[in-house]
Amino acid sequence: MLYIVPSPIGNLADITFRAIEILKAVDLILAEDTRTSAKLLRYYNIEKPTTPYHQHNEHKIYNHLIDQLSAGKTMALITDAGTPGISDPAFLLVRECIKNDIKVECLPGATAFVPALVNSGLPMNSFCFEGFLPLKKGRQTFLKKMAEEERTMIFYESPMRLVKTLKDFIDYFGEERQCCVSRELTKVFEENKRGTLREVHGYFNEKNVKGEIVIVVEGKN
């Protein structure tokens, strides 16, 4: 059996009791970065074998993992932060488990875009999650398409590219579109900056931006 186990996005207390029980019970923990996950596992006194599972090795090792699961092993997949599969590896292994009649169970838990959306104050009745924007190829086409999107839009971004992405949004969406940038969610220095794209771009253009970023943008009205 394969368990998909969400991990805290910042505050280590943001994990379910059941997630801890499963991590203590499985035969093997698949971790995006074993060094990062070690902090969480030590915090909850979880002593289980871990092995790396990330975008650079998933195509090489998933067959071996399927063989082990088919032989009766139980595994838990975790990422550095949040729910596996949401802009992090999981899809390939889950798909192969389904093909091989291996039971998959995904636990409810932390994912960054939900608190960012609720914090934004923008409409939540209908929204689209787009993850990370294309870096080069297809970026303009993608932004032209999203400029016509009427639902609230949610994006992930790195701190190094935040200002550039906000400028691109101004160019394609217009500077008066409402938005919210959430930074370091659940951590001590959590910040939710709301306003027009022009205002929020100007604010972060004057700062040295750090931390994980979620951008929520108003849909076309």
pLDDT in tens, 98-118: 999 999 999 999 999 999 999
Domain(s) of CATH 3.40.1010.10: residues in the chain: 2-106
Average pLDDT, the chain: 96
Q: Which residue's entry shows tokens 């992405």?
A: 165
CA distance 181 to 200: 8
Q: What is the pLDDT of residue 136?
A: 87
CATH 3.30.750.24: does it fit domain 2-106?
A: no
**Three-state SS at 108:** coil
CATH 1.20.1430.10: does it fit domain 113-217?
A: no
Under the banding of pLDDT at 50, 70 and 90, the label for residue 215 is: very high
Q: Is 117:216 a contact under the CB 8 Å cutoff?
A: yes
pTM: 0.93
% pLDDT > 90, the chain: 98
Domain(s) of CATH 3.30.950.10: residues in the chain: 113-217
Inform me whether the pLDDT recorded for 93 exceeds 90: yes
Q: What is the pLDDT of residue 137?
A: 87
CA distance 30 to 67: 15
Which secondary-structure segment (H or E) carries 215?
strand 213-217
